[in-house]
Structure formats: structure tokens, C-alpha cells
């Protein structure tokens, strides 16, 4: 880790960036007080998700959840009979 003043960093910015790309950490200081850090970025590898990434949930929800008809109360709620804003 190298400590560099802000004034020096202004004049040598491209050199400092090249050093950061090579893996070095450069700390910028205002006087003797460290205030920022220059570090290189690592390219993020895209996460590859294949088919069936939610397979661990399979079998937890019964088919009746989707295919059975709604009860009278559920149907009324779906059609807006019950309202939270005071209207009926």
C-alpha cells in the first residue's frame, strides 16, 4: 500500500491507475490524513443459472393451490368487494 498526496496524484493519475490495475492499493492523503483509496476493479464473472434453478421448491406447493376454484370470500375479495380505502 502506497500513500500519495492529492497534489501528486493529480499530476501522476494515469501512472497511479496503471499501478492499481496491476493490483497495488494506493491511498490518497490530504496532508498526512488518508482520505481515499485507489484500487483496481476485478471483472465480475456473470453468474450462470441454468434451468431448474428453483427445483428446490418443487413439490412444496400443491396443484390444488392453482387449480381449485376460489372460495366465495376469495372471489369477492378478488372482485373488489373488500376495500382498504373505506369504499364498498
Question: What's residue 85's pLDDT?
Answer: 66
CATH number of the domain at 25, please: 3.40.1620.10
At 88, is the pLDDT very low, low, confident or very high (cuts 50, 70, 90)? Answer: low
Residue 75 within any structural domain of the chain: no
- 52 within some domain: no
pLDDT in tens, 32-87: 999 999 999 887 778 777 777 777 777 677 778 788 998 999 898 888 888 776 55
Q: What pLDDT is recorded for position 86?
A: 57
- In this prediction the pTM is 0.48
User: Residue 26 has what pLDDT?
Assistant: 95
Considering the domain boundaries, does residue 34 fall inside one? yes
- 24: in domain: yes
Number of domains in the chain: 1
Does residue 28 lie in a domain region?
yes
Residue 29, domain member (yes or no): yes
Owning domain of residue 10: 2-38
Per residue, what are the HEC states of the chain? CEEEEHHHHHHCHHHHHHHHHCCCCEEEEECCEEEEEECCCCCCCCCCCCCCCCHHHCCCCCCHHHHCCCCHHHHHHHCCCCCCCCCC
* Within-domain flag for 30: yes
Amino acid at each position: 500500500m502506497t500513500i500519495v498526496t492529492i497534489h501528486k496524484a493529480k499530476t501522476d493519475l494515469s501512472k497511479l491507475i496503471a499501478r492499481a490495475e496491476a493490483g497495488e492499493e494506493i491511498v490518497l492523503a490530504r496532508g498526512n490524513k488518508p482520505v481515499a483509496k485507489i484500487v483496481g476493479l476485478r471483472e465480475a464473472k456473470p453468474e450462470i443459472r441454468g434451468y431448474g434453478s428453483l427445483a428446490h421448491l418443487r413439490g412444496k406447493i400443491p396443484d390444488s393451490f392453482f387449480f381449485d376454484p376460489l372460495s366465495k370470500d376469495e372471489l369477492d375479495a378478488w372482485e373488489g368487494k373488500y376495500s382498504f380505502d373505506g369504499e364498498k
